[in-house]
């Protein structure tokens, strides 16, 4: 540990591994420090990984990657207090654009590949502080040890202590964070495939909106793995803590699991894992500073996660930002400048990439989603409409359009809908 490194990477999740892998591939001496027992031990996702934007960055990573199932079916389940509406879209074919993953397996595999490229990975090691010299970050402090490098890359996740110590990030406002909590429920593979109508390696991603969050910001998710289900919820921390009804997160999950739409899917299943984690959801306006003298910030540490209402995406941003941070370090090395002047090419690379383009495109989403009616009024309206359409009364039944008109024909409804549509145009 007395050695000096080209780069020290703090955190062995996807962003850290991506940066380490890319730098080692380019012949750099890289040390990656991870506080967990192994990469994947402390890493949580829903989760599905979208691979198209990052496929070419890691060309030899995918063939043997431990994916669970290709997401062939997208489903949305809209829930009211008493009913639900399920929509299933099927049309995706192999090679799929996204795959369900379990981080304990995927990150472990990725770490092995990074080690093969030459990365030194030290686990069970927490970085406590930064070393400063000549007006720049010059390494990290681990217990009583000082480890030196030209550059440090902060990949230590959503509560990044390292970015904070470097003065690149302030402690966050709960409004800009969500909490995700989930279980992995093991199920006999044949039973799972029959239950979700799946062939071979096909999988399903199901989003739940409406009563699942009791009117609060968020939703539920279900992903099928090979022989298990990832089932959980993502909820705005501020709403969860401050809005009625005050129900603790674990109880929310229990209520969700008791819904008939969910309980039938997990029947005979065995819970094998429970986890919870914070998610950055502030979007473009609440990203951290990305670059300081001798330091770069990647992945969740920078705030690179988007909840678009339809999807939570963070994994490909983590891997992509790690890749671009590595490219920036290589460029800074050419320039022999590890101050912000040399490293700021990272921002340019991100700006030109899918990452910042997505963050700019979706920058108004957090505000547009901050609307209670999306989680209460509209799901109720959709379910009531279905109930009316399918209802056969004692007497004669009205035609379809007058039935719909009867539900939507009030001026107050259109005032609300028009106002919300204006906000929703930003989605």
According to the binding rule CB under 6 A, does residue 13 interact with ligand FAD? yes
According to the binding rule CB under 6 A, does residue 291 interact with ligand FAD? no
Q: Which two tokens stand for residue 425?
A: 């145009």
Q: Minimum distance from CB of 144 to ligand FAD (Å)?
A: 15
The residue among 47 and 342 lying less far from ligand FAD, judged by its C-beta, is 47
- 234, 252, 297, 349: which one contacts ligand FAD (CB under 6 A)? 234
Pairwise CA distance, residues 233 & 237, whole Å: 12
Residues 6 or more apart whose Cβ sits within 8 Å of residue 57: 18, 22, 319, 320, 323
According to the binding rule CB under 6 A, does residue 12 interact with ligand FAD? yes
Cβ contacts of 109-112, under 8 Å, gap ≥ 24 = 109/64, 109/65, 109/66, 110/14, 110/17, 110/18, 110/21, 110/39, 110/61, 111/12, 111/17, 111/38, 111/39, 111/40
Among the residue ranges 313-321, 363-371, 377-385, 411-419, the one whose residues contact ligand FAD (CB under 6 A) = 313-321
What is the pattern of x (binds ligand FAD, CB under 6 A) and - over residues 255-284?
A: ----------------------x-x-----
- 23, 24, 30, 45: which one contacts ligand FAD (CB under 6 A)? 45
- 80, 228, 305, 376: which one contacts ligand FAD (CB under 6 A)? 305
Give the footprint of ligand FAD on residues 179-208 (CB under 6 A). Answer: 180, 182
The residue among 154 and 383 lying less far from ligand FAD, judged by its C-beta, is 154
Q: Minimum distance from CB of 150 to ligand FAD (Å)?
A: 19
CA distances from 71 to 75, 89, 96 (A): 10, 11, 6
- 42, 73, 214, 333: which one contacts ligand FAD (CB under 6 A)? 42
Among the residue ranges 28-36, 281-289, 391-399, 405-413, the one whose residues contact ligand FAD (CB under 6 A) = 28-36
According to the binding rule CB under 6 A, does residue 169 interact with ligand FAD? no
**Count of residues near ligand FAD by CB under 6 A:** 41
Give the footprint of ligand FAD on residues 317-336 (CB under 6 A). Answer: 318
User: Pairing between strand 270-280 and 177-186?
Assistant: antiparallel
Is the bond into 346 cis (omega within 30 degrees of 0)? Answer: no
Cβ contacts of 402-408, under 8 Å, gap ≥ 24 = 407/381
Q: Rounded to 5 degrees, what are φ and ψ at 62?
A: -85, -35
Among the residue ranges 9-17, 247-255, 364-372, 399-407, the one whose residues contact ligand FAD (CB under 6 A) = 9-17
The residue among 92 and 420 lying less far from ligand FAD, judged by its C-beta, is 92
The helix (run of H) or strand (run of E) holding residue 320 is helix 315-335
Among the residue ranges 33-41, 62-70, 109-117, 244-252, the one whose residues contact ligand FAD (CB under 6 A) = 33-41
The residue among 232 and 294 lying less far from ligand FAD, judged by its C-beta, is 232
What is the pattern of x (binds ligand FAD, CB under 6 A) and - over residues 81-120?
A: ----------------------------------------
Q: Which two tokens stand for residue 215?
A: 């009117």
Q: Minimum distance from CB of 199 to ligand FAD (Å)?
A: 22
Q: Rounded to 5 degrees, what are φ and ψ at 395?
A: -100, -155
- Count Cβ atoms below 10 Å from residue 338 Cβ, excluding itself: 24
Q: Do 8 and 149 meet the contact criterion of CB atoms below 8 Å apart?
A: yes
According to the binding rule CB under 6 A, does residue 213 interact with ligand FAD? no
- Count Cβ atoms below 10 Å from residue 36 Cβ, excluding itself: 17
Looking at the DSSP assignment, which residues form a beta bridge with residue 147? 140
Q: Do 19 and 8 meet the contact criterion of CB atoms below 8 Å apart?
A: no
Q: Which two tokens stand for residue 87?
A: 């929509």
Among the residue ranges 38-46, 333-341, 365-373, 386-394, the one whose residues contact ligand FAD (CB under 6 A) = 38-46
Give the footprint of ligand FAD on residues 123-142 (CB under 6 A). Answer: 126-127
Residues 6 or more apart whose Cβ sits within 8 Å of residue 45: 101, 103, 314, 315
Interface residues with ligand FAD (CB under 6 A)? 10-16, 33-36, 42-49, 126-127, 155-157, 161, 180, 182, 232, 234, 277, 279, 299-301, 305, 312-316, 318
């Amino acid at each position: 540990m007395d050695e000096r490194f080209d780069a020290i990477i703090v955190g062995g999740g996807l962003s850290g591994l991506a940066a380490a892998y890319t730098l080692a591939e380019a012949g750099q001496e890289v040390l990656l420090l991870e506080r967990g027992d192994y990469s994947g031990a402390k890493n949580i996702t829903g989760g599905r990984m979208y691979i198209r934007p990052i496929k070419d960055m890691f060309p030899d990573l995918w063939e043997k990657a431990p994916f669970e199932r290709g997401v062939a079916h997208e489903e949305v389940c809209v829930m009211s207090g008493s009913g639900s509406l399920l929509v299933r879209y099927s049309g995706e074919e192999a090679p799929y654009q996204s795959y369900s993953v379990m981080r304990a397996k995927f990150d472990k595999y990725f770490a092995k590949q990074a080690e093969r490229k030459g990365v030194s990975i030290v686990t069970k090691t927490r970085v406590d502080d930064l070393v400063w010299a000549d007006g720049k970050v010059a390494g990290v402090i681990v217990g009583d040890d000082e480890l030196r490098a030209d550059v440090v890359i902060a990949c230590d996740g959503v509560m990044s202590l390292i970015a904070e110590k470097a003065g690149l990030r302030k402690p966050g406002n709960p409004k800009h964070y969500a909490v995700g909590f989930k279980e992995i429920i093991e199920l006999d593979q044949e039973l799972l495939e029959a239950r979700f109508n799946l062939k071979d390696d096909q999988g399903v991603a199901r989003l739940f909106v409406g009563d699942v969050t009791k009117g609060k910001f968020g939703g539920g998710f279900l992903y099928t793995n090979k022989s298990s289900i990832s089932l959980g919820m993502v909820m705005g921390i501020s709403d969860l803590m401050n809005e009625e009804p005050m129900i603790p997160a674990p109880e929310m999950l229990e209520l969700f699991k008791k819904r008939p739409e969910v309980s039938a899917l997990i029947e005979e299943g065995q819970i094998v894992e429970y986890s919870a984690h914070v998610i950055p959801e502030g979007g473009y306006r609440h990203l951290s500073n990305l670059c300081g003298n001798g330091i770069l910030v990647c992945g969740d540490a920078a705030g690179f996660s988007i909840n678009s209402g339809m999807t939570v995406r963070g994994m490909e941003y983590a891997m992509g930002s790690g890749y671009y941070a590595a490219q920036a370090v290589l460029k800074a090395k050419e320039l022999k400048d590890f101050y912000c002047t040399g490293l700021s090419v990272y921002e340019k690379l991100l700006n030109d990439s899918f990452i910042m383009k997505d963050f700019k495109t979706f920058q108004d989403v957090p505000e547009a989603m901050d609307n209670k009616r999306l989680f209460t009024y509209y799901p109720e309206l959709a379910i009531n409409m279905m109930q009316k359409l399918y209802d056969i009364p004692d007497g004669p039944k009205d035609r379809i359009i007058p039935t719909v008109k009867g539900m939507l024909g009030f001026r107050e409804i259109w005032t609300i809908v028009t106002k919300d549509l204006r906000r929703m145009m930003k989605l």
